[in-house]
Each structure stands twice: as structure tokens, then as C-alpha cells.
């Protein structure tokens, strides 16, 4: 059967499945694993388990490749020369990051969906311990003395400090928002953390992020290096002398009306350099005038400081930078060149096509080979760094056929459908979530209707979509509207749209960390729930039914799926005050709030943006009672 026919048959089956899902409410969930807490019932898991290699490491002696397979939830151990599989080690749910102990005897793996670290004995190649962490651990490093582990917790926005012998948590360090990637400086003195979500900033101002710098010996935060204009930062790497660091980042144009994509109209893809070699941060564009390095993620600096390698998940390539030429260019342009799309011609050597959604990369110790984890086609690309060519593609064990759901996921992450390949769905839905940004879309008018970008987990069965409820279903949301106003270019065919819709519908809410195990609630949550459901205010007066929380935010997902006229949040910038009640799914994670992102916190919804009490009766509540309400909302 031809590939095209196979695809048609498969997608026809997917369409039937989608229709069935719509009726039955069954959910397919790729990689989002098994129930992790009592009461966290996930109805179904896709039976096909793809490896989905996310990160790759070489053992300290260079003999083995360790591949973190997020989809199959295991660590693959491969012979680094012939790539034969030595062992497949099951770990926890949705592993996201890993690193070795200083002596290489242990491999630590963060399990992001169950808030643990798996400790693998690299001699036995088995998990010997599992330790608790903060919420959604995403990466881990050990300090060189081997006494402490540092774990970046994406949801709790902090860094757990664990005893490396017992796994007991010693302290938490406050990081930026979405703390996710940790890197130990070459001299072992400091640990650097980056963040996938922007820190809270003033309304309609450019996003700000940071590199949180931790003194490894003292386990204290000693610096916060600002990343101006960067909303999402990912891996960091250092030169061996420790004098130069580089981190990948997305530089969005969310405040510029998204009228067109040409000339970097939606995103710039950059790395930020920092360290003693520069004495400051320098943002370095990776894009060209008509081609983009969309969704930069992994970064590796060659041992001899000759090259920097960057993976771009959306563009499906690795960019190779001539580092001496880049440093020279920086010296010649002291005023910066972050917005110059022609700058990269002065330091980009080549761009090497790799597999689908390349993520983690690692260099061999001699710098001769670069290994790339291609998450969405279950391969590793092996690049000869002298030839700048892929010399081997290692297929990891797993399903050979691409399911409709998998195809939908591939579609979600690629940037190939947008004008000149600038953006994909994943640009604004980081790891299929949200971005914490407010965007200004063109059809509403210049400066009109700034809209908060919402979480898409649990989006299934919450139609209509958009704040104004103008899109009746996901295919409409992801189809012509997206083509016309986002991609600005011919997009996928109907079959692919069906697969994409299937994937988006499959995105289950991640486990809610504010819920106690076993459906228990804290007293504050219980009091907050009573406030949420109340019909009478504190003075004994009936609250108008339309002004009760549960009227608009009803149902299991916290939305009546209805549009309401003016809940007091509209501004002169809005074209309409008729807005849909948004779902409350994992609402604690998704600041800013309200349709225009004006409320930086849940509290501000009522303390600042509800003066007329149209958005619920709250003026009678004390500060403590409002806190209780927020505590309850965090459990949704």
C-alpha cells in the first residue's frame, strides 16, 4: 500500500475515532501517562507508546548514550559507537530531564507528571530510588561535591534542594516562572536556571524572563540575570572555561499587532550569550530574512569554543554558529542587533536538517559528534561536526506507523505550515500548554482586543472557543481561522486538520497539585468552595443568579460554555463586552487572567477589576475569605 493510501486509511480511521470520541467522551493521551494520584482518573491512554526522545546524554566515559524517552517513559541506554540498545530502564511518568552525578555512578531523572526524581544506578542500570520533588520537576543537576541535588520545578516556580544521599528535601529556592532547565557551570560553583514562562510584568509591556543563578555550595540564589523581551527560555550550555554561556529563547512580538508574519512579525528565535567573555547579555538572532530557526531549544558549545549548535524544534534543523565570528560581530556592534534578520549571515555557518521536533542535543567530548534527540519521529541524528552533516540516523525501538494522534502532535509542533516557517502551534502553547502572554490579533484592529492566550489542556468539550466564542469547534479554531490570521499561508489539508484536532482534544489537564490525595480538601479550600457555590451574601441577601460564581463557571470544567454580556471587565479597547466564561482548568497556573490578561493574579480579578461587582459578588468578602476563594479555585 502506498504511503499516501496508508495515510488516508489511517486518517479515515482517525476521523471515525474522532467522531466516536466526541460521542463517548473517551480521551486519548499521548505520553501523559498513568494516574499519578488517587482520584486522578484518566479515562484512557493511547495504546501506542512512542519513544519520543526528548533529551540525550553521553556517559562521562563516552561509551554509552542515554536517551530520555518521554513517550515510553524510560531511559534507553545505547552503545555510543554502534547504537545497539543495552538496556531500557522504566522510570516515572512523563520524564523530562536528566543528568549524571559527579562521579557518573548515578543518573537522575525528573518525572514531571508525578513530581519525583528517579535515581538510576549506572552500573546496575536500574532505578534504585525515587524521591519527591516540587511540582512538575523538569531538570536536575548535582553539585560537584555530590551532596546535593537541585531540581527545577516548572509549576511551583522554584528549585528543590535535595540531600543527594537520602533524597530528603532540604530547602526550596524561589526561581522565575516555569523553572525548567538547570545547568552546572564548568567549575561547579554555580547553577543556572531558565524558565519556560515569562515572569509577571506590567500590563501590555514586553515579557521579561531571567536566568536564576544559584551558589551551588551554599544553595542560595545569588543573581538573577534579566532576559529582556524573552518569554520562554530553554537549555543553557557553557564553554569549558566557563567564561561564556548561551541559552535559547523565544522573543515574541505579542504587543505588535499580528498583521503579517514577514520580517519576524510574530517571533524571533534567538540565543542569549552571557558570561565573563562579554560582561553583559547579548541577544543573538538565529533567523534570516525569509527563513526561521523556529522554537530553539537545545544548545551546545564546542569544547574549543569554535562552534555553537542550536536545535530548533519547529524548523526541524540544527543551526551551526561560528563562535569566533559571532564574538567579532558582537564587538563590532556594541549597540546590539537583536532585530536584524541579516545579522545571522555573519556568523551562521550552516543549518542542518534533522528529524521531527529536535530537542535535546549533546556533543561528544572531543566535539566531533553531535547527537540530536528528534522527539516526534523517534530518532537520534548523529552529526559529524567537521562535515556538518547527519552521518547516521538511529531509529529507536517503537511503533513504526504514525497514528493519527501522533500525526496531530507532529502537526502541532512543526512550523512548516506558517508563512516562511516562522511559527507553529507550539510557539504559543509551550509544551502544549499556554504562554502567559497577551496578544493583539489583526482582525480586531490595531491595538484592539488584546487577548490572553489560554491553556489548551482539557479544552475538549468546552466549545465555543475564543474569548468571544466565535469558533464553534476545534477544527474551526485550528482550521481556516488559523490559516488566515496566524499562519498567513496555506496550511494543512483536511486530514491533517482532523489529526491535529484529535491531538488537541486529547490534551488532558495535568494533575492538579493543589488537590490533596484522596479528594480531601483543606479547610481553606472547603471555605472557598462554599463561597464559590453560595447563593446568599454575608448580609443575607440573595445574590442574583447571574452574579453567582457557579452560574457562569458551572460544570466539571468550570464553564457554562455560554457567552455573557459585560461582567465588568471590558475596556475601551474591546470590540465587544460579550465574552465566554472560560474554563477553570488548572487556573492557578495560567496567569495573567481575564480576557485581556490585565489581572496579574487571581486576587486582582476581584480586588482591582471588579469594582462594580459584575464579576461575582465579592465586595462583602474579607481578605481572608477572598484568599479562601482563591485556594479553592486553585484546585480546579
Partner 1 sequence: MTLVSRFLTSSALTAMLIPVCAFGPDVTSGATATDIVVTAAPIYAQLAALQGKERFPQGAHLLLVHDGKAEPLVPTFWASADANVSFDGERVLFAGKQAQKDPWQIWEIALKDRSLRRVIAGEGDVIRPLYLPYGRLVYARHAATGFRLEAAGKDTPEALDPVDPHAGDTIQPLSFLPGNAIPDDVLLDGRILFESGFPLGSGTTPELYLVYSDGSGVESYRCDHGKARWGGTQLASGDVVFTHGATLARFTSPLAHEAAIAAPNADYAGGLAETPDGSWLLSARTVGTHRSLVSWQPAVEEGQQAEPLKTVLAVDGENLVEPVIVAPHARPKRHPTALHPWTYANMMALDARISRDGDLKTAPAKVRLESMDAHGHATVMGTAPVDADGSFLVRTPADRPIRFALLDQKGSIVRAEHGWFWIRAGEQRYCVGCHAGPERSPDNHVPAALLRTTTPVDLTGSKPDAAKPGEPGGN
Q: How far is the CB of 604 from partner 1 (least distance, A)?
A: 20
Compute and round to an integer the Cα radius of gyration of the chain: 24
Among 243, 263, 280, 389, contact with partner 1 (rule: CB under 8 A): 263
Q: How far apart are CA 422 and CA 314, in angstroms?
A: 8
Among 215, 431, 442, 603, contact with partner 1 (rule: CB under 8 A): 442
Binders in 364-423 for partner 1, by CB under 8 A? 419-420
Cα 17 to the center of its chain, rounded Å: 28
Q: At what angle do helices 3-24 and 404-413 cross, to 10 degrees?
A: 100
Q: Cβ closer to partner 1: 339 or 395?
A: 339
Nearest CA-CA partner of 456 in 486, 478, 440: 478
Farthest CA pair distance, the chain:
78
Q: Cβ closer to partner 1: 203 or 546?
A: 203
Contact between 470 and partner 1 by CB under 8 A: the answer reads: yes
Beta bridge partners of 362: 371
Contact between 445 and partner 1 by CB under 8 A: the answer reads: yes
Q: How far is the CB of 112 from partner 1 (least distance, A)?
A: 29
Q: Helices in 424-483 by DSSP H: which ranges? A: 425-428, 474-478, 480-482
The cell for 544 is 442574583
Q: At what angle do helices 494-505 and 404-413 cross, to 10 degrees?
A: 90
Q: Which long-range contacts (CB under 8 A, 24 or more apart) does 334-341 make?
A: 336/282, 336/283, 337/284, 337/285, 338/229, 338/251, 338/268, 338/270, 338/283, 338/284, 338/285, 339/264, 339/268, 339/285, 340/285, 341/263, 341/264, 341/285, 341/287, 341/288, 341/289
Q: How far is the CB of 446 from partner 1 (least distance, A)?
A: 5
Contact between 252 and partner 1 by CB under 8 A: the answer reads: yes
Q: How far is the CB of 69 from partner 1 (least distance, A)?
A: 34
Q: How far is the CB of 571 from partner 1 (least distance, A)?
A: 11
Among 139, 257, 586, 610, contact with partner 1 (rule: CB under 8 A): 257
Place of cell 569554535: 306
b/e code 602-636 from CB counts within 10 Å (16+ = b): bebbbeebbeebbbbbbeebeeebbbbbbbbbbbb
Q: Cβ closer to partner 1: 139 or 254?
A: 254
Q: Pattern of binders to partner 1 over 283-322, x per CB under 8 A? A: --x-xxxxx-------------------------------
User: Of the listed pieces 118-126, 256-264, 503-511, 601-609, which binds partner 1 according to CB under 8 A?
Assistant: 256-264
Among 48, 219, 255, 521, contact with partner 1 (rule: CB under 8 A): 255
Task: Burial-class residue 352 by CB neighbours within 10 Å (0-12, 13-18, 19+).
Answer: buried
Contact between 264 and partner 1 by CB under 8 A: the answer reads: yes
Size, binding site for partner 1 by CB under 8 A:
61
Among 468, 525, 570, 635, contact with partner 1 (rule: CB under 8 A): 468
Binders in 42-61 for partner 1, by CB under 8 A? none
The cell for 191 is 547553577
Q: How far is the CB of 257 from partner 1 (least distance, A)?
A: 6
Nearest CA-CA partner of 280 in 208, 331, 222, 352: 331
User: Of the listed pieces 126-134, 146-154, 264-272, 608-616, which binds partner 1 according to CB under 8 A?
Assistant: 264-272
Q: How far is the CB of 442 from partner 1 (least distance, A)?
A: 6
Contact between 254 and partner 1 by CB under 8 A: the answer reads: yes
Q: How far apart are CA 591 and CA 41, in angstroms?
A: 26
Q: How far is the CB of 454 from partner 1 (least distance, A)?
A: 13
Q: Pattern of binders to partner 1 over 200-219, x per CB under 8 A? A: ----xxxx------------
Nearest CA-CA partner of 78 in 353, 366, 371, 316: 371
Contact between 333 and partner 1 by CB under 8 A: the answer reads: no
Contact (CB, 8 A) for 46 and 401: no
Among 159, 373, 428, 451, contact with partner 1 (rule: CB under 8 A): 451
User: Of the listed pieces 115-123, 232-240, 261-269, 593-601, which binds partner 1 according to CB under 8 A?
Assistant: 261-269
Binders in 474-503 for partner 1, by CB under 8 A? 480-481, 483-485, 487-491
User: Of the listed pieces 214-222, 442-450, 580-588, 598-606, which binds partner 1 according to CB under 8 A?
Assistant: 442-450
Q: Pattern of binders to partner 1 over 505-544, x per CB under 8 A? A: ----------------------------------------
User: Of the listed pieces 4-12, 84-92, 112-120, 436-444, which binds partner 1 according to CB under 8 A?
Assistant: 436-444
Q: What angle do CA 193, 194, 200 make, to 5 degrees?
A: 120
Place of cell 552525578: 101
User: Of the listed pieces 83-91, 173-181, 250-258, 593-601, which binds partner 1 according to CB under 8 A?
Assistant: 250-258
Contact between 448 and partner 1 by CB under 8 A: the answer reads: yes
Q: How far apart are CA 74 and CA 118, in angstroms?
A: 11
Q: How far is the CB of 594 from partner 1 (least distance, A)?
A: 17
Nearest CA-CA partner of 498 in 482, 519, 514, 476: 476
Q: How far is the CB of 321 from partner 1 (least distance, A)?
A: 13
**What's the CA dihedral at 374, 379, 384, 385 to 10 degrees?**
10
Among 353, 447, 556, 568, contact with partner 1 (rule: CB under 8 A): 447
Q: What CA–CA distances, in Å, run from 326 to 102, 244, 346, 442?
A: 32, 12, 7, 36
Nearest CA-CA partner of 359 in 117, 152, 179, 138: 138
DSSP three-state, residue 404: helix
Q: What CA–CA distances, in Å, run from 440 to 118, 261, 616?
A: 42, 13, 27
Binders in 217-246 for partner 1, by CB under 8 A? 229
User: Of the listed pieces 240-248, 271-279, 372-380, 573-581, which binds partner 1 according to CB under 8 A?
Assistant: 573-581
Binders in 574-593 for partner 1, by CB under 8 A? 575-576
Q: How far is the CB of 205 from partner 1 (least distance, A)?
A: 8
Q: How far is the CB of 290 from partner 1 (least distance, A)?
A: 4
Q: Cβ closer to partner 1: 335 or 523?
A: 335
Nearest CA-CA partner of 630 in 518, 520, 549, 519: 549
Contact between 8 and partner 1 by CB under 8 A: the answer reads: no
Contact (CB, 8 A) for 295 and 426: yes
Q: Which residues form the interface with partner 1 (CB under 8 A)?
A: 204-207, 229, 251-257, 259-260, 262-265, 268, 285, 287-291, 339-342, 344-345, 348, 419-420, 440-449, 451, 466, 468, 470, 480-481, 483-485, 487-491, 573, 575-576
Amino acid at each position: 500500500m502506498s504511503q499516501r493510501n496508508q495515510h488516508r486509511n489511517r486518517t479515515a480511521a482517525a476521523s471515525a475515532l474522532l467522531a466516536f470520541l466526541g460521542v463517548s467522551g473517551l480521551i486519548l493521551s499521548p505520553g501523559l501517562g498513568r494516574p499519578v494520584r488517587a482520584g486522578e482518573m484518566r479515562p484512557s491512554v493511547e495504546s501506542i507508546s512512542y519513544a519520543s526522545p526528548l533529551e540525550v546524554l553521553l556517559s562521562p566515559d563516552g561509551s554509552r548514550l542515554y536517551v530520555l524517552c518521554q513517550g515510553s517513559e524510560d531511559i534507553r541506554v545505547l552503545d555510543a559507537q554502534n547504537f545497539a540498545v543495552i538496556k531500557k530502564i522504566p522510570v516515572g511518568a512523563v520524564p523530562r530531564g536528566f543528568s549524571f552525578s559527579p562521579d557518573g555512578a548515578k543518573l537522575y531523572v525528573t518525572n514531571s507528571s508525578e513530581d519525583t526524581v528517579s535515581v538510576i544506578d549506572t552500573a546496575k542500570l536500574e532505578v534504585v530510588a525515587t524521591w519527591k520533588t516540587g511540582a512538575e520537576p523538569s531538570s536536575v543537576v548535582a553539585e560537584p561535591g555530590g551532596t546535593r541535588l537541585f531540581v527545577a520545578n516548572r509549576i511551583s516556580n522554584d528549585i528543590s534542594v535535595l540531600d543527594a544521599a537520602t533524597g530528603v528535601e532540604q530547602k526550596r529556592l524561589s526561581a522565575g516562572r516555569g523553572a525548567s532547565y538547570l545547568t552546572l557551570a564548568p567549575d561547579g560553583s554555580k547553577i543556572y536556571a531558565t524558565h519556560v514562562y515569562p515572569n509577571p510584568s506590567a500590563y501590555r509591556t514586553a515579557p521579561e524572563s531571567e536566568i536564576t543563578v544559584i551558589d551551588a555550595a551554599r544553595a542560595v540564589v545569588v543573581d538573577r540575570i534579566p532576559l529582556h523581551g524573552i518569554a520562554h527560555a530553554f537549555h543553557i550550555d557553557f564553554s569549558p572555561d566557563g567564561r561564556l554561556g548561551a541559552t535559547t529563547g523565544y522573543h515574541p512580538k505579542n504587543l505588535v499587532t499580528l498583521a503579517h508574519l514577514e520580517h519576524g512579525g510574530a517571533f524571533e528565535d534567538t540565543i542569549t550569550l552571557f558570561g565573563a567573555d562579554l560582561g553583559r547579555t547579548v541577544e543573538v538572532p538565529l533567523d534570516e530574512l525569509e527563513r526561521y530557526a523556529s522554537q530553539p531549544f537545545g544548545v551546545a558549545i564546542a569544547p574549543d569554543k569554535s562552534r555553537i549548535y542550536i536545535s530548533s524544534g519547529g524548523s526541524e534543523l540544527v543551526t551551526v554558529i561560528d563562535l569566533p565570528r559571532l564574538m567579532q560581530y558582537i564587538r563590532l556592534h556594541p549597540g546590539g542587533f537583536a532585530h536584524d534578520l541579516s545579522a545571522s549571515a555573519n556568523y551562521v555557518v550552516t543549518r542542518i536538517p534533522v528529524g521531527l521536533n529536535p530537542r535535546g542535543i549533546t556533543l561528544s567530548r572531543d566535539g566531533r559528534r553531535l547527537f540530536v534527540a528528534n522527539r516526534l519521529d523517534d530518532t537520534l541524528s548523529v552529526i559529524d561536526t567537521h562535515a556538518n552533516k547527519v552521518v547516521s540516523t538511529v531509529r529507536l525501538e517503537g511503533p513504526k506507523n504514525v497514528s493519527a494522534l501522533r500525526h496531530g502532535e507532529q502537526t502541532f509542533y512543526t512550523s512548516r505550515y506558517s508563512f516562511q516557517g516562522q511559527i507553529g502551534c507550539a510557539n504559543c502553547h509551550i509544551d502544549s500548554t499556554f504562554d502567559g502572554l497577551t496578544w493583539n490579533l489583526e482582525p480586531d484592529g490595531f491595538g484592539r482586543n488584546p487577548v490572553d492566550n489560554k491553556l489548551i489542556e482539557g479544552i475538549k468539550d468546552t466549545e465555543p472557543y475564543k474569548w468571544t466564542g466565535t469558533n464553534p469547534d476545534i477544527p474551526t479554531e485550528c482550521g481556516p481561522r488559523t490559516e488566515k490570521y496566524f499562519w498567513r499561508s496555506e496550511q494543512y489539508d483536511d486530514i491533517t486538520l482532523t489529526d491535529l484536532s484529535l491531538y488537541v482534544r486529547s490534551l488532558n489537564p495535568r494533575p492538579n497539585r493543589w488537590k490533596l490525595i484522596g479528594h480531601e480538601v483543606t479547610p481553606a479550600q472547603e471555605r472557598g468552595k462554599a463561597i464559590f457555590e453560595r447563593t446568599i451574601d454575608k448580609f443575607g441577601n440573595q445574590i442574583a443568579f447571574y452574579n453567582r460564581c457557579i452560574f457562569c463557571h458551572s460544570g466539571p470544567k468550570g464553564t457554562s460554555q455560554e457567552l455573557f454580556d459585560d461582567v465588568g471587565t471590558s475596556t475601551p479597547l474591546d470590540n465587544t463586552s460579550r465574552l465566554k466564561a472560560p474554563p477553570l482548568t488548572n487556573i492557578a497556573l495560567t496567569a495573567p487572567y481575564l480576557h485581556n490578561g490585565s489581572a496579574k493574579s487571581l486576587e486582582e480579578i476581584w480586588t482591582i477589576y471588579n469594582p462594580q461587582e459584575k464579576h461575582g459578588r465579592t465586595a462583602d468578602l474579607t481578605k481572608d475569605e477572598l484568599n479562601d476563594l482563591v485556594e479553592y479555585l486553585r484546585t480546579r
